[in-house]
Amino acid sequence: MFFCLSAILIAASANLSARDFDVADFGADGKSEALADSAIQKAIDECSKSGGGEVRVGNGLYNCNNIRLKDGVILNIDRGATIKMTPVDGKKPAALVIAEKVKKRRHKGIRHA
């Protein structure tokens, strides 16, 4: 009985962790002055492809031109994280986070500075 319950718990936790994506795993470390939007976008895209989940942005400064949210993705921004709108070629984007054709959008930790 204990073995079966352990196997179920391990399988359940494996499914939960498969739906959580850290932008650091995609190349955005929050320490670089380089643009991080492509790495963050890759994490969002992979999360959406897997059926949804949470994309975590850890502590640090992330320079971004823009990010496109997708259905089923929760953008979780740590308290010590800053996503800075950064112009590219002198052109500032109309919005930092874009959510077009998204039925449900959620985010955690966003505050305006």
At 94 the pLDDT is: 82
At 4 the pLDDT is: 35
Assess if residue 84 is contained within a domain.
yes
At 90 the pLDDT is: 85
Q: CA-CA-CA-CA torsion for 79, 35, 55, 113, nearest 10 degrees?
A: 30
Assess if residue 78 is contained within a domain.
yes
Give the C-alpha separation, 6 to 101, whole Å.
40
Residue pair 52/19 in contact (Cβ under 8 Å)? The answer is yes
Assess if residue 14 is contained within a domain.
no
Residue 55: which CATH number?
2.160.20.10
Domain total for the chain? 1
At 14 the pLDDT is: 37
State the chain's maximal CA–CA distance in angstroms: 64
Q: For residue 73, what are the domain limits? A: 20-108
At 107 the pLDDT is: 57
What is the pTM (predicted TM-score) of this model? 0.75
Assess if residue 4 is contained within a domain.
no
Assess if residue 12 is contained within a domain.
no
Radius of gyration of the chain (CA): 16
At 93 the pLDDT is: 82
At 110 the pLDDT is: 53
Nearest to 29 by CA among 39, 44, 18: 39
Backbone phi, psi, residue 84, to 5°? -105, 125
From first to last of its 113 residues, the chain has per-residue pLDDT tens of: 433 333 333 333 334 445 899 999 999 999 988 999 999 999 999 999 999 999 999 999 999 999 999 988 999 999 999 999 998 888 888 888 888 777 765 556 555 44
Provide the b/e sequence for 15-28 (b: ≥16 CB within 10 Å): eeeebebebbebeb
Single-letter amino acid, residue 9: L
Six-digit token pair at 103?
A: 């039925």
